[in-house]
Each structure stands twice: as C-alpha cells, then as structure tokens.
Chain A
C-alpha cells in the first residue's frame, strides 16, 4: 500500500481529494479491505484528537452497514442505484414476521388430540433443523398437504403487502424446496 494512496485516503476523509483522483480511489476502497480499515482509523484519529473515546465495535460498524446495503441490492436487483429507495431493515423484519405468521398458522391448525399426526418441517441450509411445528388432528379434517397448502395460500395472498426482499426470503426459505416437509407420520406410529 503506497504512501500516495494513503495520502489520498487522508484527503478523501477531509473532502479535499481532487475529483480526478476520487473515482480510482473509491474503486480501490471497494476491493481492498485494508484501505477501508485505514480510512476508518484515520477517522478515529480525528475523533480521538477531539477528545472522544473509542466505543467497542465501532470499527466494524461500516462493514455491517455495507453488508446490509449490499443485501438490499441483492434482494432487489431491479434497482441498482444507491441511496436506496426501499427499506433494508424492513426486509429482514418482514421476513421475520412472515416466518412468525407461518409458525402461528401451523401451530393453530387444530388442537392436539389422540390420533393426531405430527407435521415436521426440515429447514435448509441456514435455517432451523428438523423442528416439529404442529400436531394435526386428523379428526378435524387436516392433512399435511392441506396444512402446507394453507400456509402457501396465506403467503401468496399476502405477498402484495410485503416488500420484494421479504417475498424473496419467504420464497427461498419457506415455500421453495429448502424448507420442505420432512416427515409425516401418525402420532401413534412409533417414535
């Protein structure tokens, strides 16, 4: 890492870098983590000189923000422009809500009685492993296929109220094969 580049970083921090040098430096910053670290430390030097103290984790904050913004861009590729017009965080919140609703729907399918059947879902990579989410009473006329079908109908019919990131998450993790019915057995059929 040359002194010239580091001096450019310093000037960039102060808003004093000539326009002609800006684009190249931003490109390097994008692909060289050491440069980003250095820029973050230069910023901190200024804060320390002004009497501020270091907060744990501060030097990771920019990485987290960048990752969140990148995640939004990946979730909504139709808009590649910056200064996002859509919610970044709301995608994750929405996904969480969708998952919670799915669980509530499944758990409220029917009361547990004798002769019930267990419905298990197996999450894919990054998800939860083999969890029994509901017990379904066949006397109430539910079956595994009806349960999943009801869940999917709910998700599809409410899709219009979710943002694209939420829909993509739900598609990828709840409806699509990564989240599948792993077992369907009568409760008395042996554990």
Chain B
C-alpha cells in the first residue's frame, strides 16, 4: 500500500529528533495498526492500549531502524509482536488464525472476513462502506482515477502523472480534492463510528 519512499523523510526526521514527524506517522497508520491489533486483542479498550504501546515501542526503536523494509512493514511487525506479548501476559493463547508476519497486504485483504462485531457496529460500518462507495462514484473521473491509483495501487505522484499524462502538481491537487470530497461525505458518520 505505502511504498518504502513514502515515509522515508518523516522517518529520517524522527531519527534526527523531530517528534512532530512521528506524530504524522501515527496519524497516518493509527487505523491500520488498531485494526491489525484487534485481530488479536478483541476488547476495544485493550486494543487501544496495545496499539499505543506498539507505537511507543516503534518510537523508541526508530533510531535503530535502517530502512531495509518499508516503515509500515516494520511497524506492522512491532504491532503484531506487541499484541502477542499482550496475550501472553494475559495468559491467553493467541487466536487460532494468524496473519502473515511478512505480508501486511494479505492481512488487509482478509481482515474484513474475520470481523466479529455487534449488529449495530456491523450496520454502522456497512453504512460507512456504502457512503464511501457513493462518494467515489460521485467523484469526477479524473479525481476518482487519481485517488484510486494512489490509495489502491500505491503509485507515486510521478507515476500517476505519467499514467494520467498530466503534471505532478495536477495529480497532487486531484488527490487532495478527492480526499476532501470523500471526507466531506463521511465526516458525520466517522464521529459516530469513532465514539462507538
């Protein structure tokens, strides 16, 4: 999803002592990491605690991160280990299913099939999913293509510019406008979902 180069500069900033850059990385990956940890730790409050612990472990370990893998892959491994350690401390056996430690992408694909939520939560998420789909459908084609190439295909702005035969600045603008449009449609739903 996120290329190795995407986070490189932010990682370097953190390694130079810039906590603000780490904040950006947390904002970027907080949903993914919480979702991942909830595969192991089903209690939402515990999952939040474990997610927080995982990020803090990553923050402490970042000076030693050499960039051999993408930042998210590295963070993903820390999160899984933290969740497993939590279960050991809680004297619980990890859940039978396991996610591939080496492959964050395969986890993302399967995650939706393994949800065990309340009917209300499922309905809320279904509503959100439909709203997102509607929002994407409502986007002008150039915005829809740009955001899909970025978020689904993980392409860089330069690659998207080449594919869409337009300047990089235009790509940047299109992706931003697509995000704004989707955010505008899901804002209210998010408030309800997040407080749940």
> Which residues from chain A sit less than 8 Å from chain B, CB to CB?
6-7, 10-16, 19, 22, 26-27, 29-30, 36, 38-62, 64-66, 68-70, 73, 80-89
Contacts and interface: CB of A to CB of B under 8 A. Distances in A.
Interface in B125-165: 125, 128-129, 132, 136, 147-148, 150-152, 156-157
Contacts of A65: 23, 26, 30, 52, 55-56, 59
A6 B109 CA distance: 29
Closest 10 CB pairs of A and B: A15-B6, A81-B17, A10-B176, A82-B17, A61-B30, A83-B62, A7-B176, A46-B151, A54-B193, A62-B26
B44 interface: yes
Q: Most chain-A Cβ atoms within 10 A of its Cβ — which of B1, B108, B111, B176?
A: B176
A179 B111 CA distance: 49
Q: Tell me if A's interface is mostly helix, strand, loop or mixed.
A: helix
Given A55-B31, A55-B34, A10 B20 contact: no
B179 A45 contact: yes
B27 A36 contact: yes
Contacts of B9: 15, 19, 22
B128 to A, nearest CB: 6
A53 B27 CA distance: 16
A137 B63 CA distance: 54
B83 interface: no
A12 B16 contact: no
Contacts of B2: 15
B139 to A, nearest CB: 11
Given A15-B2, A43-B30, 20 more contacts: A6-B180, A11-B157, A15-B8, A22-B9, A36-B27, A41-B190, A45-B132, A49-B136, A49-B147, A49-B148, A53-B129, A56-B44, A56-B193, A57-B44, A59-B30, A61-B51, A64-B48, A64-B52, A65-B52, A83-B22
B21 interface: yes
B132 A41 contact: no
Contact of B157 (A14, A47, A51, A82): A14
Interface string B171-196: 01101100110110011001001111
Q: Most chain-B Cβ atoms within 10 A of its Cβ — which of A39, A41, A44?
A: A44
Given A14-B150, A80-B17, A42 B60 contact: no
A53 B44 CA distance: 14
A166 to B, nearest CB: 16
A50 B151 contact: yes
B24 A12 contact: yes
B176 A15 contact: no
Interface in B31-51: 31-35, 38, 44-45, 47-48, 51
Contacts of A30: 20, 23
Contact of A44 (B23, B44, B147, B190): B190
Contacts of A38: 183
Given A57-B48, A69-B56, A44 B17 contact: no
B63 A83 contact: yes
Contacts of A52: 31-32, 35, 108, 111-112
B132 A49 contact: yes
Contacts of A7: 172-173, 176
